[in-house]
Amino acid sequence: MFRALRVRNFRRYASANLLSLTGTWMQRIGQDWLVLQLSDGSGVALGLITALQFGPSLLLSMYGGVLADRYPKRRLLLISQALMGLLSLVLAVLVVTGAIELWHVFVLAGVLGSISAVDVPVRQAFVAEMVGPGLITNAVSLNSTIFNGARLVGPALAGLLIGAASGNTAPAFFLNAASFAFTIAALAGMRTDELLPSPPVARGAGQLRAGLAYTWGHPDLLLAMGLAFVLGTFGFNYQVTIALMARETFGLGAEAFGLLSTCFAVGSLSGALLSTRRSVRPRQRFLIGSAVLFGLFTVVAGLMPTYATFALLLVPTGAAGLMFSVANNSFVQLGVDPQMRGRVMALYFMCFMGGTPVGAPLVGWVAERFGAPWGLILGGAVCVVAGLGAAAWLAHRRSLRVQLQRAPLRIRLAVRPPTPAVPDPQVRAAEEKMAEKAPGQQSL
């Protein structure tokens, strides 16, 4: 289950990442709660802040992928992590001094999203350099385990801090700013001779188009990215729906919001731990099944009448969502050539997070207009329909393939005069040896 941790560089990176991601989740909870405070509980404002944080993925992720394929990934991560830590510190200072306004949060979220759009594809591609192709699936699963372990602790800790500070979100932001130091130290202290970098891609025109063309030529990657887009747009909006369910539906405070996020993280952590056992590329039908299951659990969670039953349903929902996410990520990483991995992973995360600028405000508007549960019900229903549509498309392709295989084959043989092309020297030498060993016989 933990075999990728035998690699020293990955082990140090993963340990530091756990602390850094705990701080990141504390900031997310604090940021969402701060927006609700500054906007008088507006679901649209909450959806907009999420859109600003993830929207730059639509424009910048592919450029991040090009940078990942072109420059040393460790150096890029040192720069991006330092910048994100600085932004967290600025937000904390604005809150603690009382100068914070809603537009400040919007601007900082947009800048953070722009840096993250470059950071994410670089980080994903860097995993393969730390552990090698044989451990990619396990390393991706462990990264998801770490991510959701941080989600388990971070929201609850943020809720307790905000509650203890009488609603002040500054402590969560200060701790997040400090947490980036651990990742920077781990990256700086790596043994570079143990990394397995892919050959860098030289600067040149058309590299973005080459990544798009490569993905378009692989239907299996198109299926994975289509599912990632739909689920990322309409399903993975729990930072909006959980906050609105806690505040508007159940009339509770930041502590309850943090505990609901922790329940979702418990399920996600369980799904990530189950995924660590996988050592081969997932099947397409597993991607589809987990997507449909996640959508069904999301719909049922929206129908829960009490805080306790809603919290209980968040556990299997988080597990199904994480099993889909890990399997989809591994499916894409193990299906690309190393020199294309940065650009393809950038496109993948552009699909996975790029729809959030549309989905999050839409879900927030539905929840504000018709009630928070309807945001969950609508998002889950769209995920189910997308999964069933992907299953129908896959079945059609397989049926077409079977029909082609059953069609009668007609082979026409014709003798042509030898071409004047000069054979490869190694091939020519092998043919001469065969002729010496078996004189009088003609090779076919």
pLDDT on residue 202? 62
Q: Which residues does 199 contact at the CB level (< 8 Å), separation at least 6?
A: 338, 339
Paired tokens of 357: 């600028």
Please give the pLDDT value at position 438.
Answer: 46
Examine the pLDDT at 132 and tell me if it is beyond 90: no
pLDDT of residue 400: 60
Q: How far apart are CA 220 and CA 214, in angstroms?
A: 12
Tokens representing 336 are 């690309």
DSSP structural state of residue 84: H
Q: Average the pLDDT over 337-363 and give the result.
A: 75
168 close to 159: Cβ distance less than 8 angstroms: no
**pLDDT value at 171 more than 80:** yes
What is the arithmetic mean of pLDDT over 303-318? 91
Distance, in Å, from the CA atom of 240 to the CA atom of 53, rounded to the nearest integer, reads: 13
Confidence at residue 358, expressed as pLDDT on a 0 to 100 scale: 72
In angstroms, the CA 188 to CA 196 distance is 16
Q: Give 228-241 pLDDT, tens digit per residue.
A: 899 988 888 777 78
For the entire predicted model, the pTM comes to 0.64
Nearest Cα residue to 363 out of 223, 227, 226, 243:
243
Q: What is the pLDDT of residue 16?
A: 92
Q: How far is CA 285 from the centre of its chain?
A: 19
* Residue 404 banded pLDDT, cuts 50, 70, 90: low
Confidence at residue 444, expressed as pLDDT on a 0 to 100 scale: 35
Domains of the chain: 3-193+216-404 (1.20.1250.20)
Does the structure show a pLDDT above 80 at 278?
A: no
